[in-house]
Structure 1
Amino acid sequence: MRATIIHAPGDIRVEDRDYPTVQQPTDVVVKVTAACVCGSDLWPYRGVKPVHKPSAIGHEFIGVVESVGTEVTTLTAGDFVIAPFVISCGKCPPCLDGVTVACELLAGWGGKDSTGLPVDGGQGQAVRVPLADSTLVKVPGVTEPDSALRKSLLTLSDVMATGHHAALSAGVTAGKTVVVVGDGAVGLCGVLAAKRLGASRIIAMSRHEDRQKVATEFGATDIVSERGEEGVAKVRELLGGVLADSVLECVGTKESMEQALHSVRPGGSLGFVGVPTGGAEIPLRYLFDSNIHVAGGMAPARTYIPELLEDVLSGAINPGLVFDVEMPLEEAAEAYKAMDERRAIKVLLVP
């Protein structure tokens, strides 16, 4: 089969790879119908995260179950499924508490790479998924989604679930004022999540017209292009002299975290989901003095998918609008380049 392989920073190739097979009784093999490039995939592409050897890459995909291990009980060949970006056993204390990304079984999982992602790489024609019963989510009544539905279903594997996690971590509820720092796919989904949870005012911090348009469609009431102290002052001006009840940090850099922290009112809440890079840190003294609540981390997508799936299937939300470019899998190298150069918000790959 064909699969996307990262060889070194800036070096993405689509190459032949052995077709996956069921290796454990809890495995299934999924034929991928759509995958995509994640912002976190850009860290090794940019050299921020080391690439030690050529490796399959990608952790967001949807598709059809092809073959099933003997101990799989909830899935059969032909089922259309969403793959959350981390596998999980569904039985350990963290999984039972809904924190599937901290699955205790994975601590010793030999086939797992250092990011905790599915072992075979999602940007290919097929993927072996371990722990399939507790990891994959079947989409009821769907076998061949149309283009719009396909895009929205794919967002549930990561970016919509992550935006939702940011909003929940920031304590977004009906009537709250919200600032979203970051206008990538996760930040835009954070806007949508805040709207879904009933926020009364949503300020999207964005300098890019195409992303501002999606943010507005998702429910942003205001756009702020300023950064640093000017950005904080603009937020305060828009909110009548106070800062936001809730702020979503969706980037992971030192600058974005500082922007987020200083946009929260005293006693407010910050939810962070950006993968920490570039010296991002939490200043404890500032939190102590301001009584700001901070929560977040890697999103337990598997926990959130069933709830979000209902709203996607009903048409209540359409997160698939974050996909502004679609390319064949063979053009994966160009997909990475387009996202790295910010010529695309998020690229969908079709095997």
Structure 2
Amino acid sequence: MKAAVFVEPGKVEVKEVEKPKIDGENQAIIRVIRASVCGSDLWWFRGIADRESGSLIGHEAIGVVEEVSDDVTDIKPNDFVIVPFTHGCGHCVACINGFEGNCLNQKSGTNGGYQAEYMKYQPVNSGLVKIPGKPEDYTDDQLASLQILSDVMATGYHAALNAEVKPGYTVAVIGDGAVGLAGVIGAKLLGAEKIILLSHHDDRAQLGREFGATDIVSSRDEEAVKNVLSLTKENAGADAVLECVGAESAIEQAGQIARPGAVIGRVGVPHAEPKSNQLFWKNVGLRGGIASVTQPDKEVLLQAVLDGKINPGKVFTKSFDLDHIQDAYEAMSNRDAIKSLIIVNDK
């Protein structure tokens, strides 16, 4: 089968590799319909993080189950499924409490290989999310919105949940990439009345407004802080802040625009820890981390997509076939695309 592999920083390519096989319990072989490039993939593509040359890549997909191991009870062949980037066992303390991304029984090194014609996933019973019907029942736009549920939409929603967004809140979102834009959707789903998106790109700001942002702040640094505060009650700051970048400066800014007692929902993977004590002096909470996918998809996000209530697949501004995987990565690395969709197999 064809699969995308990492060659060296700045270079990925498609190679012929052996198709995966069932070789253990709670496993499924999936024919991938759609995959995508994640912002975190750019770490090793740009040489910021290490990755083994020749390793399979990608951690976001939807597809059709081809085969399952004998012990699988909840999924069967021909089921159309969301394939999460997480691998929660479903029964440990972390999973039971809704933090499947921190599963205590998750095996290391299980992510990779989603950008391929076929992939193996485990644990099936607690991880995969069934989509009603089959791929041909959906338009390409709907498939894009289903695909985004494998990671980014769940991550943006996770930011809003961790920030404890409540109906009527004023929410500020730092980061106008796919995760930040998904955060706007998440804040709206939780009832935010005012959503302030900090964005420096017109196309992303426009999409943010479409998703539910009521205000755009395009200024930077101290001016941005001033402008955000001016949009809040008594200039005190936002009731909740979604930090979807991960840079030290983003956490610092989040603390500056949060009102006393607010909570910052943090899903941008940190490059450095904040050094300021401002969060303490303002009684501002900081929480977040790796998102759960399975539970939010089953309880909220999948139905919202099926009902047409949200259309998060619009963050895919360019699409490619698997043979043009290098172009897909370059488009995101060069900021020519908000997010790259990979069309792997026909419906």
Superposition TM-score, scaled by structure 2 size:
0.95
- What residue identity is the alignment partner of 1:344? A
Separation in 1, partners of 2:96, 2:231: 41
Offset, 1:159: 0.6
Separation in 1, partners of 2:24, 2:276: 45
Conserved 8 A contact 1:28-1:66: yes
Offset, 1:282: 3.5
CA distance 1:246–1:206, shift in 2 (3 Å): same
- Residue aligning to 2:23: 23
Separation in 2, partners of 1:256, 1:198: 24
Offset, 1:141: 3.0
- Is it true that 1:336 corresponds to 2:325 in the alignment? no
Offset, 1:163: 0.4
- Residue aligning to 2:211: 218
- Structure 2 spans left out of the alignment, 5+ residues: none
- Residue aligning to 2:120: 128
How high is the sequence identity, in percent, across the aligned residues? 45
Conserved 8 A contact 1:227-1:259: no
Cα deviation 1:45-65 (Å, max 9, x = unaligned): 111111233211100000000
- Residue aligning to 1:179: 172
- Residue aligning to 1:85: 85
- Structure 1 spans left out of the alignment, 5+ residues: none
Separation in 2, partners of 1:323, 1:332: 15
- Residue aligning to 1:348: 341
1:270 corresponds, among 264, 267, 271, to 264
- What residue identity is the alignment partner of 2:49? K
- Residue aligning to 1:147: 140
Separation in 2, partners of 1:285, 1:348: 40
1:243 corresponds, among 231, 237, 243, to 237
Offset, 1:255: 1.9
Cα deviation 1:57-100 (Å, max 9, x = unaligned): 10000000001110011111110000111112112121111111
Separation in 1, partners of 2:203, 2:269: 23
Conserved 8 A contact 2:102-2:290: no
Equivalenced residues, count: 341
Query: Please, which moves more after superposition, 295-304 or 182-191?
Result: 295-304
2:181 corresponds, among 184, 188, 203, to 188
Offset, 1:271: 0.4
1:209 corresponds, among 193, 202, 205, to 202
Separation in 1, partners of 2:237, 2:281: 16
Separation in 2, partners of 1:86, 1:238: 37
Separation in 2, partners of 1:19, 1:297: 33
Offset, 1:312: 0.8
- Residue aligning to 1:305: 297
Cα deviation 1:237-290 (Å, max 9, x = unaligned): 22252211111000111122222221111111100001112x2x2346222211
1:322 corresponds, among 300, 315, 320, to 315
Matches within 5 A, 1:90-169: 90-106=90-106, 109=107, 112-113=108-109, 117-118=110-111, 120-144=112-136, 145-169=138-162
- Measured on the aligned residues, the alpha-carbon RMSD in Å equals 1.3
Offset, 1:23: 1.1
Superposition TM-score, scaled by structure 1 size:
0.94
Offset, 1:215: 0.1
Separation in 1, partners of 2:331, 2:250: 22
Offset, 1:25: 2.9
Separation in 2, partners of 1:137, 1:20: 20
- What residue identity is the alignment partner of 1:228? D
Separation in 1, partners of 2:19, 2:151: 24
Specify the SS of the correspondent of 1:348: strand
Separation in 2, partners of 1:52, 1:331: 21
Separation in 1, partners of 2:265, 2:243: 6
Separation in 2, partners of 1:18, 1:238: 56
Specify the SS of the correspondent of 1:105: coil
